[in-house]
Amino acid sequence: MSSQNVIKSASSDNDDINSIATRQDLRVVTIFPTKNEESTIENAVNVATTSKFNPEVIVVDAYSSDSTADLATKAGAIVIRQPEQMFPGKGNAMKAGLREAVRNRAADIVLFLDTDISNLTSEWIDKLVNALIQNNCDMSRGFYQRQSRDAAVSKLIARPMLNIFFPELSHFEQPLSGEVCARRQIWEGLLEVQGSPDGWGIDIWFLIETAMRGYHS
Ligand SMILES: Nc1nc2c(ncn2[C@@H]2O[C@H](COP(=O)(O)OP(=O)(O)OP(=O)(O)O)[C@@H](O)[C@H]2O)c(=O)[nH]1
Ligand SMILES: [Mg+2]
């Protein structure tokens, strides 16, 4: 996976991160939204905890009918339930995970990863977090090689629409990818917005809303 410097700070808002002396002082939280991912959840949690940023791992489960939640707990994740029993409820789950990470666990950086990635490596986390630290970005987003017929919504709808309405975001290979990382202040600001999407719309919403708050790409 590669990370893209999605949104770059217009100011020196990143001073808090830059002034944190070492990786050990940086509180990184990785969140996996899950619904029936028993075949990959254990590996995902194990891999995430081996990142050099030593992240806490939160799993936000959507009432999985399989053993996803049990396996996540056994692997050492903090497992919480998506508040609303709705599907699709990825936005609802992501916001619940963020509230836990930024309000209860004082995370400096929070990132999301999809759970259904069988070849996940800890490097994914390291690259996404490093994009914030080394490139002074506010938000980074991952992209990776996909099958030619995958990601039709990104190719046919999201990217063409961004090109027209938000050309400053047109460099995103996969604007809807579930691999997204940002520092606490960005997430706190987004959590304050009323009426943000509870379903799939959350992925593009995070991106556009952050850009509209004046951060540069
Ligand atoms: N909590 C929660 N997680 C969800 C929900 N829908 C999907 N997920 C999780 O969100 C991540 C992305 O979902 P996917 O279904 O893989 O979405 P996708 O990657 O766009 O689609 P595919 O190309 O089919 O893999 C996975 O970890 C899912 O388990 C939901 O309603 N609630
Ligand atoms: Mg998927």
Ordered DSSP codes for the chain: -EEEEEEE-SSSTTHHHHT--SGGGS-EEEEEEESS-TTTHHHHHHHHHTSTT--EEEEEE---SSSHHHHHHHTT-EEEE-SS--SS-HHHHHHHHHIIIIIIS--SEEEE--S--TT--HHHHHHHHHHHHHS-EEEEEEE----TTS-HHIIIIIHHHHHHH-GGGTT-S-TT-S-EEEEHHHHHHHHT-TT--SSTTHHHHHHHHHHHTT-B-
- pLDDT band of 150, cuts 50, 70, 90: confident
21 has pLDDT over 60: no
Query: Does residue 108's CB lie within 6 angstroms of at least one atom of ligand 1?
Result: no
Indicate the pairing of strand 28-34 with strand 56-61: parallel
Per-residue pLDDT at 95 exceeds 60? yes
Task: Specify the range with the lowest mean pLDDT, choosing from 21-25, 65-69, 102-106.
Answer: 21-25
Please say if the pLDDT value at position 217 is more than 70: no
With 0-12 CB in 10 A as exposed, 13-18 as middle and 19+ as buried, what is 126? Answer: middle
* pLDDT at 10 (0 to 100): 42
Residue 115, ligand 1, Cβ within 6 A: yes
Q: Give the ligand at the shortest distance from the Cα of 40.
A: 1
What is the percentage of the chain residues whose pLDDT exceeds 90? 69
Q: Is the CB of 175 under 6 A from ligand 1?
A: no
Extents of the domains making up the chain: 2-148+177-207
Q: What distance in Å separates the CA atoms of residue 53 and residue 213, rounded to the nearest whole number?
A: 28
Residue range 91-100: average pLDDT?
98
Ligand found nearest the CA of 152: 1
Res 137: pLDDT: 87
For ligand 1, say whether the CB of 62 is within 6 Å of any of its atoms. yes
The residue whose C-alpha atom lies closest to atom 5 belonging to ligand 1 is: 90
- Ligand minimally distant from the alpha carbon of residue 174: 1
pLDDT band at 62, cuts 50/70/90?
A: very high
Q: What percent of the chain has pLDDT over 70?
A: 88
Q: What is the pLDDT of residue 16?
A: 57
In which band, very low, low, confident or very high, does the pLDDT at 22 lie, cut at 50, 70 and 90? low
93 Cβ closer than 6 Å to some ligand 1 atom? yes
Q: Quick one: pLDDT band at residue 172, thresholds 50, 70, 90? A: confident
Which is the closest atom of ligand 1 to the Cα of 114? 27
Q: Does domain 2-148+177-207 have CATH number 3.90.550.10?
A: yes
- Nearest in space to 146 (alpha carbons), one of 171, 100, 168, 177: 177
pLDDT per residue as tens digits for the range 109-143: 999 999 999 999 999 999 999 999 988 889 999 98
Mean per-residue pLDDT over the chain, rounded: 89
